[in-house]
Structure 1
Amino acid sequence: MELTGALAAILTLIVLEVILSADNALILGVIVQKLPPALRRKALFYGILGAYVLRGLALLFASLVIQLWWVQALGAAYLLYIALKHFLSPQEAHAPPPLEASAAQFWKVVAQVELMDLAFAVDSVLVAVALSEKLWVIYTGVFLGILALRMLASLVVTLLDRYPRFKHLAYLVVGLAGAKLAVGGWDKLMKEVLGRPELALGLDKEAFSLLILAVLLLGTLWATRKPAPA
């Protein structure tokens, strides 16, 4: 019975990791698309390694990580910036990916992937700790969830290359994810740091994540639909 309960908790963690961070997978796809096609999988691979290290440390120091409101604020600012840049700079938005990239450009993209993973890890840690007290169950569920997210990110890159309209949807979801991180960071600042819970906005992160998922699913149907003949 105990093993059955542990397996159920692991499966739940994997599903929640994917559902609550579906926007994370899309963001990773958007970030690595800045690189030439040959380097994208390599960047995601290094992203997986870094994510395992960051999530592992985050789970060990969960009581400290949940107070990192400034990490979420940085992640929110970056996501809102790249979303606004996409919609306000149409020429750059339609520019093809580069054919070559320097080592500095490659590691810059990897660093951006790690920053976003750390920003999203704050809420992921809270969900994981709430579901189980067994450390091996938490680690197994979260780590398998990360692997699933990286696979989704690879799919996102393919969709971005094949369907031009999908890029607009991607950046819309990036902006929504930035708003979610911004509100989450504000709430943590008010509750955990300043002790002023009455000033928190009280965002239901699960409901907001499901809203983003619904936008992503409906938008994907629109983006991948063949345009009507003229």
Structure 2
Amino acid sequence: MTAGFGWALGQIVAINLVLSGDNAVVIAAAAQRLDPLRRRSAVLWGSVGAVVLRIGLTFVAASLLHLPWVQTIGGIFLLAMGYRLVVPAVSAETHNAQVEGYWAAIRLILIADVIMSLDNVLTLAAVAQGDERLLIFGLVTSLPFVVVGSALLARLLDKYPFLMRVGGALLGQVGGQMILTDPLWHGVALLRRDWVVLSFSLLCAGVIATARRR
């Protein structure tokens, strides 16, 4: 192992520690309403599936993010998912609802994780500099960080249910930011200002965090 390879490896592990936090929050929130056994299973298989999808996504992420509408559509998806976390449509009172909720949680984990990981994947790709071994290692090693972090956060959500709104707000913030950083809006000077992007993303986070069932 060369010094350069070892340095890049260390960078990737550090990046995973920093960037996996947001994903762990969302995964824990998505699975929180399931019973403990189903929750662990949903977190594990949702995370494994998300890593597999990330590996495939790596080879197209750079070009995707430069296409108009991609980030806008992804941002809208995240806003909708944030709302679903805060205002769940599925009741957990019956066994059938639990089964439906289990698969709904896995779907939510997969989609939200992949959308939120676009920038993460690009960051890892930049560090790997075309070395597929490093890139795949970086994506695979993100799995334990996310799974362990999600399990710990799920326990906190049991104790402090209001933290579910934090997960929803996080999706809202990332979704709002993705929408306004879409190349689609690059011709609109006002929307490119940092304070506008920040204000809009915080507004989206606030709206979702305070959402109520009608």
1:183–1:201: 8 Å Cα contact kept in structure 2?
no
Letter in 1 for 2:155: T
Question: How far does the alpha carbon of each residue in 1:73-107 deviate from its partner, in whole angstroms, 9 at most, with x for none?
Answer: 31133215534x48xxxxxxxx9x65745433321
The one-letter code sitting in structure 2 at the alignment partner of 1:116 is A
Maintained 8 Å contact 1:76/1:178: yes
In structure 2, what is the Cα distance between the partners aligned to 1:186 and 1:32? 29
1:142 aligns with 2:139: yes
Structure 1 length-normalised TM: 0.70
Q: Which residue of 1 aligns with 2:15?
A: 16
Closer, same or farther: CA 140–202 of 1 in aligned 2, 3 Å: farther
CA distance in 2 between counterparts of 1:64 and 1:99 reads: 44
Aligned to 1:51: 50
Residue 74 (structure 1) aligns with: 77
| 3-state secondary structure, aligned to 2:34 | coil
CA distance in 2, matches of 1:99, 1:10: 47
Query: Displacement of 1:117 after TM fit?
Result: 0.8
Amino acid at match of 1:200: R
What is the identity, as a one-letter code, of the residue corresponding to 2:50?
Answer: A
Q: Distance in 1 between matches of 2:188 and 2:7?
A: 33
1:58-207 to structure 2, matched below 5 A, reads 58-66=57-65, 67=67, 68-69=70-71, 70-80=73-83, 82-83=85-86, 85=87, 100=95, 101-133=97-129, 134-161=131-158, 163-164=159-160, 167-187=161-181, 189=182, 191=183, 193=184, 195-196=186-187, 198=189, 199-202=191-194
Aligned partners of 1:79 and 1:177 also within 8 Å: yes
| Residues 52, 76 of structure 1: alpha-carbon distance in 2 compared, 3 angstrom cutoff | same
RMSD of Structure 2 on Structure 1 (CA): 2.9
CA positional deviation for 1:21:
3.5
SS in 2 for 1:196: coil
Corresponding residue number in structure 2 for 1:212: none
Mapped to 2, the partners of 1:30 and 1:173 lie a distance apart of 6
Name which of structure 1's ranges 133-142 and 12-21 shifts more when overlaid on structure 2: 12-21
- CA separation of 1:78/1:153 partners in 2, compared to 1, >3 Å: closer, same or farther? same
In the alignment, structure 1 segments of 5+ residues that lack a partner are 87-94, 209-230
The alpha carbon displacement at 1:179 in A equals 1.2
The structure-2 alpha-carbon separation of the partners of 1:107 and 1:201, relative to structure 1 and needing over 3 Å to count, comes to farther
CA distance in 1, matches of 2:169, 2:94: 27
Cα distance in 1 between the residues matched to 2:83 and 2:173: 7
Q: Give the secondary structure class of the aligned counterpart of 1:26.
A: helix
Residues in 2 aligned to 1:200 and 1:143: alpha-carbon distance in whole angstroms = 34
Instruction: Tell me how far apart the structure 2 counterparts of residues 22 and 57 of structure 1 sit (CA, whole Å).
Output: 21
Distance 2:94 2:152 in 1: 20
